Structure 1
């Protein structure tokens, strides 16, 4: 059987024991989860986007995966288009920028490239972070709870509870993010239907106009008629008053309003010069002459 000759065997040499599982480095695991793209497993490159479930992606890698959906992982199948992701407004970490002399492709778990703009906590996975879907700003969950307000802590834009996306959350957070994702999609669908209805109503209203030129043109013509009546009656109407009366359109002068009337004639216009009037056949000097008008002169017809 062996083991003779004065040898002293150890227990692990005689008995086969079950090997212990390898212990994972938690810091390295968090650094990989928070600083690498979910699709390519490479270091995140700007612009960085987040999906409805709080996973981080490099936008260029995501676009390539959407063009060839066979490369899209099963965990990312909920992303249908770029409307299902949001560009993040991240705050750079100055300490990380000072130590950015490492080799390309290396992960330094001692510092994070981004931090919370409110409390200064590093975005390394040790602290929970959230993103606001409506504006894309990112800050820590502690800041969201301590400063209890419905305005973004970074850009001060208002937001709702359903706009909060927990970045790299646990299983319970993942279920909550799925519920909020469905609410956002339903709200976007309702807003899209409202826009289509408003557009159809506008087109139908313009189509039913008798002149066929739309509501805006009808309003301009009616206001121009009112101003012309005042001018004919002899009332003093200044240019400022005319401009106030005609709030739409580009007509603001009394002379231009007179020219818009159907009974306007250049020959009767007192403000037009004789040289300008001579360009038209209605001028008296043009009616008396036998030859063709000089503007349309052709020697073959004289």
Structure 2
């Protein structure tokens, strides 16, 4: 096979050397982080949310994951730290006026700039395409470039005016080392929240404060104790008169014998004459089945 007509094979054709390491295109890697959802790998579209680690997601994809965590997804490892909607923050982004979206190059006869970002920094005007570092505030969700936060130092948001702290600033799509620091910060924050909850529960137990639902339960038990018993007498002293144990042998009276009660009130109890029937008036039990139609 081969070597016909005096062809001479070369060394690289006969000897197989080590495989070359595939290099990832930087432009493609940046586009995957800044233009596509980290979970569903679909294009980012509003509403866009971010987690404590600075990753971007479509809000619909995260909600679907939280509703059904057992379903197979291509990149489910990126959301294992998200336990609920409290672990994500909806971003307040500023649209790029130069971004035309899918209508930019429908025919394919125009130059399409891959580095053009969908959003920009409202202070400096830098495009959010991965070439510049961007941050978001956990307090309000507004997104700015890191350069804007360094040049204009303030404790009030540049866009909405809400106050924020330095701990509220989270870098979007940072390096692996910074992601590990953000993960440690996230775990410390969750540990503090657990300790606060445990302290509140202990304080409630020590003070003996009953929840508001217990009041309803006590009122229902009191109401149930005042219901008439089988002989037509009530256990409430206001209704049935004084009890024999407290009044020294006074017998309980029947509600039907009370003259100060109306007939409408007496008819509410089973000891009333309207509730008693003769044998001729009573009927035998009849069992109906769904097959009688």
Contact kept? 2:51, 2:87, Cα under 8 Å: yes
Distance in 1 separating the partners of 2:118 and 2:103: 9
Q: Are 2:17 and 1:14 equivalent residues in the alignment?
A: no
Structure 2: gaps of 5 or more residues = 107-111, 213-293
TM-score by length of 1: 0.58
Aligned residues: 203
CA drift of 1:35 comes to: 1.1
Q: Which residue of 2 aligns with 1:182?
A: 187
| Per-residue deviation, 1:117 | 1.0
**Which structure has greater helix proportion?**
1
Give the distance between the partners of 1:141 and 1:197, measured in 2 at CA.
43
Tell me if the contact between 1:162 and 1:180 (Cα under 8 Å) persists in the aligned partners: no
Q: What is the distance in 2 between the residues matched to 1:162 and 1:49?
A: 19
1:139 is matched with which residue: 137, 144, 155? Answer: 144
Deviation at 1:193?
A: 7.3
The Cα offsets for residues 82-114 of structure 1, whole Å up to 9 and x where unpaired, read as 0000010001001113774345xxx96231100
**Partners in 1 of 2:193 and 2:160 — Cα distance?**
23
Question: Match of 2:28?
Answer: 28
Q: SS of the residue aligned with 2:50? A: strand
TM-score in terms of structure 2 length: 0.59
Partner residue in 1 for 2:76: 73
CA offset at residue 30 of structure 1?
0.6
Q: How does 1:88-127 map to 2 (within 5 A)?
A: 88-97=91-100, 100-102=103-105, 109-127=114-132
Contact persistence 2:39–2:78 (CA under 8 A): no
Which has the higher mean CA deviation after the structures are superposed, 158-167 or 128-137?
A: 158-167
CA offset digits 1:269-290 (Å, max 9, x no partner)? xxxxxxxxxxxxxxxxxxxxxx
Q: Provide the aligned C-alpha RMSD in A.
A: 3.4
Partner Cα distance (2:94, 2:87) in 1: 22
Q: Which residue of 2 aligns with 1:151?
A: 156
